[in-house]
Structure 1
């Protein structure tokens, strides 16, 4: 089934920002001082507001048409949001997430009750503050993790303590997300993105278990559940709300988690009722563009955002090389339905990737320059 929206596509914009930005030193220091009890929550919030205002001005000066708060309100791209839902708790996983060559902190989330919408979720207040910083004509882009992030890494292991069936849990999860997104809309949000590493995880697992029928069936079920829940979340949201996803392969201190072609998940991605998909294509780990046709699935409303410029390293890509790759991609998806971004954000966790703020802005400037050359606006 394809998207039934009929209005013209506005977002994702031809040059877009994935979400996270490098945390400034002042914010990092404030978080460290808060953790030690040296400043209170109000002092931390004041510094966060000041740094958010500064970074938004940088985005506006760059000419971005959609801006984020850099995810300055969180330590992790996903866990801080999940902890804000009713029924989700915080525990020590005692394991680092398995990035190549780098170890993360060991925080995790788990179910402590039935999952539900939290009308006092702290992200609502930070969104409302961000809105005050952005002039008319510029979209405020809100990023949150996909509901599929509660399927994995032991986060739903104890679902049976609160639900009679797995399907009942999935229904509550979808409802909690739907209500959360609707509330963002009621606060003025018109552009929201669900960030998702589950699809990249499935690339690796579906491929690795191809000759293990029982294990393979488990991951096929996970993919099917992901499609079901995401589309359930999206069903009935307002027509003038753009919802996209970023299919992330892992982003921590310039390292990664997953590799592999989109081929194994293309048909699942093609079933999702998103308005746009941000896909990482900054290295040969992602394979070629052939699966794009199935992911786009002939949905004239949907945009595929090519993450051709890496956020992991400071070296600037060659503009002609990127333009040539966009042309290659347009053999599978019409150019009208393509856009450009970095492959990921710059700081999926507060540690950030291995480049400077100036190098970060240079990357985003390059995205805008190339997109303007290709699409003329």
Structure 2
């Protein structure tokens, strides 16, 4: 397990995806219609990345990403590149786990099939996931900024949480979940190693899986379907850990536990972290947790009492789903409330130590899918400016 320095130079973070500039948005629309040449789209992506890098610099954000400008959706770029994965563009909805909130939503919207993958052969990483994206981003930042670049990727649990043990892999290829996740972990570690050697020091896993265990209705239906939710949670904790094991000590790996951020900012699930906090905060081998705390469906700060001394929590206390600005005094009060919970947690610590384990951010990305949330780039800037102002007052 790596050791994170608990005095981050920046208190304002962001989750990863940013609003697409208008030119890129319009070209993506044309691309969807088959009316845009790939070279034209790629050029617009390059320009958009340069644009959002300047935006992040100007706002003084702690990390720099490419805003996921080269992706249509946040989880793109991993499973579609793995050897052993078969692309199923028309996978029937009956092969998805019906107790999952996003499956219910898609079914209610009239979907009878949805794109996915099936593991039909041994998993191997024969091509990189995001190495080319990192190199492109590295080429346009100053050398001293390279260590601030953050790479976002979907979690190893992504396909399994949709289809379970019976629908994720061919039993002739993998005899158990552990076997499947072990090979997947090797692929992730190879990617992490190559990114690190190129100078990457921050990798974030964007994972909606864990928050499904926070939803009372989902848990009831999961158990009703004969699924041992406790054992499955352990499986998913292990799936993360086999990807992050033996990483360099100065590589910060973070986990964003998301409740959904579909087209237009639609969320999928609700419920506080109390169901999972004791196990996830203490057993998942990452350095930082990005947590969504933008409204009442996110629950209270009580689960933070389980935050270990060597980990950081980034409180997503500003929403990306609504342009309305939160009140700065309310945000400051919430930060201090969270610090008090951590200070009186397991183990207890001083309020100053607890505050030093906190950063703040928007609750999720502004555009987890290319269409984005119901906010503008100007709204986005104002949200970040608000966070920066609050951070200066709290951590002066």
Instruction: Provide TM-score, normalisation by structure 2.
Output: 0.86
Structure 1, unmatched stretches of 5+, are none
Instruction: Check 1:200–1:179 CA distance in 2 against 1; reply closer, same or farther (3 A cut).
Output: same
Question: Are the equivalent residues in 1 in contact too, given 2:204–2:256 (CA < 8 A)?
Answer: yes
Per the TM alignment, residue 177 of structure 1 is displaced from its structure 2 partner at its CA by 1.1
Q: Structure 1 CA distance, aligned partners of 2:39 and 2:7? A: 37
SS in 2 for 1:354: coil
Per the TM alignment, residue 213 of structure 1 is displaced from its structure 2 partner at its CA by 6.0
1:1-377 aligned within 5 A: 3=1, 5=3, 8-9=5-6, 11=8, 13-90=10-87, 91-93=89-91, 95=93, 97-99=103-105, 106-121=114-129, 123-138=130-145, 139-154=148-163, 157-159=167-169, 160-204=171-215, 208-209=219-220, 215=225, 218-252=228-262, 253-270=264-281, 271-294=283-306, 296=307, 298-299=308-309, 301-333=310-342, 334-376=354-396
Instruction: Check 1:102–1:309 CA distance in 2 against 1; reply closer, same or farther (3 A cut).
Output: farther
Q: Structure 1 CA distance, aligned partners of 2:384 and 2:198? A: 28
Q: Structure 1 CA distance, aligned partners of 2:323 and 2:290? A: 21
Instruction: Provide TM-score, normalisation by structure 1.
Output: 0.90
The corresponding residue for 2:349 is none
Q: How big is the alpha-carbon RMSD for the aligned residues of Structure 1 and Structure 2?
A: 2.5
Between 1:99-108 and 1:40-49, the stretch displaced more is 99-108
Q: Structure 2 CA distance, aligned partners of 1:102 and 1:14? A: 40
Question: Are the equivalent residues in 1 in contact too, given 2:9–2:62 (CA < 8 A)?
Answer: no
Question: Are the equivalent residues in 2 in contact too, given 1:207–1:264 (CA < 8 A)?
Answer: no
Question: Are the equivalent residues in 1 in contact too, given 2:2–2:251 (CA < 8 A)?
Answer: no
Q: Structure 1 CA distance, aligned partners of 2:339 and 2:393? A: 15
Q: Structure 2 CA distance, aligned partners of 1:115 and 1:250? A: 27
Question: Are the equivalent residues in 1 in contact too, given 2:149–2:202 (CA < 8 A)?
Answer: yes
Aligned length: 368
CA offsets 1:288-347 (integer angstroms, 9 cap, x no match): 1111111x1x32x31101111001000000000000011110112211101100100011
Q: Structure 1 CA distance, aligned partners of 2:285 and 2:333? A: 29
SS in 1 for 2:314: strand
SS in 1 for 2:214: helix
Question: Are the equivalent residues in 1 in contact too, given 2:11–2:62 (CA < 8 A)?
Answer: no
Per the TM alignment, residue 161 of structure 1 is displaced from its structure 2 partner at its CA by 4.0
Instruction: Check 1:237–1:374 CA distance in 2 against 1; reply closer, same or farther (3 A cut).
Output: same
Instruction: Check 1:148–1:111 CA distance in 2 against 1; reply closer, same or farther (3 A cut).
Output: same
Per the TM alignment, residue 173 of structure 1 is displaced from its structure 2 partner at its CA by 1.3
Instruction: Check 1:356–1:40 CA distance in 2 against 1; reply closer, same or farther (3 A cut).
Output: same
Structure 2, unmatched stretches of 5+, are 94-101, 343-353
Question: Are the equivalent residues in 2 in contact too, given 1:263–1:291 (CA < 8 A)?
Answer: yes
Instruction: Check 1:97–1:51 CA distance in 2 against 1; reply closer, same or farther (3 A cut).
Output: farther
